[in-house]
Amino acid sequence: MQTKTEDQLVGHVLGQYRVERFVGRGRLQSVYLARHQTLQRVDALTLYSLPEQFSNEARTLFLTRFRKEASSITTLDHPHILPVYTYGEVLGSHT
């Protein structure tokens, strides 16, 4: 599936979130401010895009680690750690 550029996602709904603003980009991720449609809460939404040159084995390892760490992080509750409310796949990117 073809992914959209950062600016093209603003105004679109991804999962439970409406993307409001592009914040920045790292090597593998793009960060947005997005509003949860039900809770009306503004959260940071991070989309991870794997490089096309990743082998199938590298993709599998990344996705396995992503799911394991995301699952663990959702259980953390500490004032110095941002909460992770949900994770998954949207538009071919992992969030």
pLDDT score at 3:
47
Domains of the chain with CATH codes: 6-94 (3.30.200.20)
Residues whose CB falls within 8 Å of the CB of residue 32, separated by 6 or more in sequence, listed in order: 6, 9, 10, 19, 20, 21, 22, 23, 44, 45, 46, 47
Structure-token pair, residue 45: 């939404």
Q: What is the pLDDT of residues 10-31, one digit of tens each?
A: 999 988 999 999 999 998 889 9
pTM of the model: 0.77
Nearest to 47 by CA among 88, 1, 2: 88
pLDDT digits (tens, 9 = 90+) for 50-59: 888 889 999 8
Residues 36-75 have pLDDT tens digits of 999 999 999 988 888 888 899 998 998 899 899 989 999 9
Cβ atoms of 27 and 50 within 8 Å: the answer is: no
Residues 48/95, Cβ–Cβ less than 8 Å: yes
